[in-house]
Amino acid sequence: MSRVYVQNQVHIFIFVFILVPLLFPLLFSYWHVKGSVILNEVAIQPTQAVELYNSDSSISADISSWYIDDSGGSSYFTIPSDTFIPPLSCLVFGGDFNFNKSSSDIVRLINNSNPPTTTSAVLIDSYQYSKAPDVGYSFSRNSNNEWETSISSLGLMNDTHISCVPTPTPTTEPIPTEINTPTLSQETTLAPTSSPTPIPSIDYAAIFISEVFPYPNVGGNEWVELYNANDFPVNLTEWYIDDMENSGGTPRRFTLTINQHEYKIFEISSALFNNAGDTVRLLNSEKQEKDSMEYGKVTRGNSIGRISFDEDAYCEQTPSPNNQNTVCLEERGDSSPTRSPISTVQPTKKIAYSPTISKTDGAKSVVYKQSSSTNNIVGDVLGETTTEHKRDSSPIPYLSSVSFSYSALTIVSLFIKMKNA
């Protein structure tokens, strides 16, 4: 047996019995993640969103720093770090992915090995379409793993419409407590603890501050209401509510699940906002500002609510937690674009003005219309004094002037007759 042959056999032995067992977990992990995470649904209009699904029934998929891209170009979407999809669950990512609406395009899911702009980017899954579906419809996979066009069901199982978004564990502000450290002895053993799977944190768009309750009654708490304008549920994991930037207040961390087009409040256990005016800011998990609002002096027990989601306009309102905002309460002297019902004036005129309530831009306005009453009483309406000019009903002045004219003509006629005689 030659020496070269023996060396070759040793090398084969080392590769098969030593290196392969070491490489197998890495190879299995790569194959497993690639095979379990898929594109599950794609919405293009009116807002663009991509739903990813982990089809594995036992292992969470780490998709940190993966990429969602279209057919090409220099821009692409990067999934935030520490993002995991639990088994048999989905995550929805919203944003502008540059998907074409009137022409064909490709939706691509790429892992974190290399950016999409490089030739070495690793494609995990893709879907090509010829034209975007109508508004409110999506491209989605059915139970046969085939793509079809259907009504958007982002955040839901495509066939059963059961929620596939993982429910996060609520987090609260830690309360400092005195901790007694146990003394370890030889008989003391520490039970092993398993680290929980990190809850994914996503940088969602179209999340707005809808209402703020900065001046509660005694014993009450401040709260901030958020609105999810997306067509799918969102998990705001370890996001923050803060006041004016660099003002010294500590941002309050929270975790909320908000369904599509739903309002939800985060209650703040300790005071954060000023009653005489402040700034309210919504920050994502990276403490990047997503929305903000400013308010002036507020009355205790009232809230500051958004008038319209089309503009940054707010006013003082009656609190409506977890619901659509109410109408504006009063017109303030500051720059706040608020409206109010006009105060009631005691009627002193029977040509009465009855109020007709109408809504304009989410605020209550009072429009006055004339009624059919025929009585006449002088009074103030809408802040203007209305004075009734009465015509003198006595006929005496009119008769006096007629009598005087008749007498003068009689005297002139007598003088003429006397002269002719």
Q: Which residues pair with 37 in a beta bridge?
A: 54
pLDDT score of 419: 60
| pLDDT for res 347 | 37
Q: 206-228: per-residue pLDDT in tens?
A: 899 999 999 998 888 999 999 99
Taking alpha carbons only, the member of 193, 206, 165, 355 closest to residue 290 is 206
List alpha helices for 83-217, DSSP H: none
Residue position matching structure tokens 């974190």: 112
Q: How far apart are the first and last CA of the chain?
A: 184
DSSP 18: I
Q: Of residues 373 and 11, which shows the higher confidence score? A: 11
Q: Among the listed ranges 216-220, 261-265, 285-289, 328-332, which one has the minimum average pLDDT value?
A: 328-332
The CB-side HSE value for 267 (13 A sphere, CA atoms) comes to 7
Closest CA to 37 of 112, 128, 130, 148: 112
Other Cβ atoms less than 10 A from the Cβ of 126: the count is 13
pLDDT averaged over every residue in the chain: 73
For the stretch 73-122, pLDDT in tens is 788 899 988 889 999 999 998 877 889 999 999 999 999 999 999 999 99
In tens, the pLDDT along 18-60 reads: 655 555 444 444 444 444 899 999 999 888 889 999 999 899 9
Domain 37-151: give its CATH code: 2.60.40.1260
Output the pLDDT for position 47. 81
Q: How many Å apart are CA 8 and CA 1, to the nearest integer?
A: 12
| Separation between Cα atoms, residue 240 and residue 255, nearest integer Å | 9
Q: How confident is the model at residue 203 (pLDDT cuts 50, 70, 90)?
A: confident
CB burial string 144-179: b at 16+ within 10 A, e below: eeeeeeeebbbbbebeeeeebbbebeeeeeeeeeee
Distance CA 268, CA 226 (A): 13
- Banded pLDDT at 13 (limits 50, 70, 90): low
Write the CATH number of the domain with boundaries 207-317. Answer: 2.60.40
Higher pLDDT, 14 or 143: 143
pLDDT of residue 71: 87
Q: Does residue 109 or residue 377 have the better pLDDT?
A: 109
Residues 6+ apart with CB under 8 A from 348: 377, 378, 379, 380
Residue 307 has phi, psi (to 5 degrees) of -80, -40
Q: What number is the average pLDDT over the span 268-297? A: 90
Contact 66, 116 (CB under 8 A): no
Find out whether 143 and 235 touch, Cβ atoms under 8 Å. Answer: no
At residue 161, does pLDDT exceed 80? yes
Asked if 159 contacts 142 with a C-beta cutoff of 8 angstroms, the reply is yes
The yes-or-no answer to whether 37-151 and 207-317 have a common fold is yes
* Six token digits for residue 21: 């067992």
Of the candidates 332, 336, 276, 286, the one whose C-alpha atom is nearest the C-alpha of residue 306 is 336
* Mean pLDDT value across residues 13-20: 58
- Which range among 110-114, 236-240, 389-393 has the greatest average pLDDT? 110-114
CA dist 303 and 40 (Å) reads: 41
Q: Where are the domains of the chain?
A: 37-151, 207-317, 353-386
The pLDDT of residue 279 is above 70: yes
Can you tell me the mean pLDDT for 153-163? Answer: 88
Residue 280: band (very low, low, confident or very high) from pLDDT cuts 50, 70, 90: very high
- The radius of gyration of the chain from alpha carbons, rounded to an integer in Å, stands at 38
Q: Are strands 222-228 and 207-213 parallel, antiparallel or unpaired?
A: antiparallel
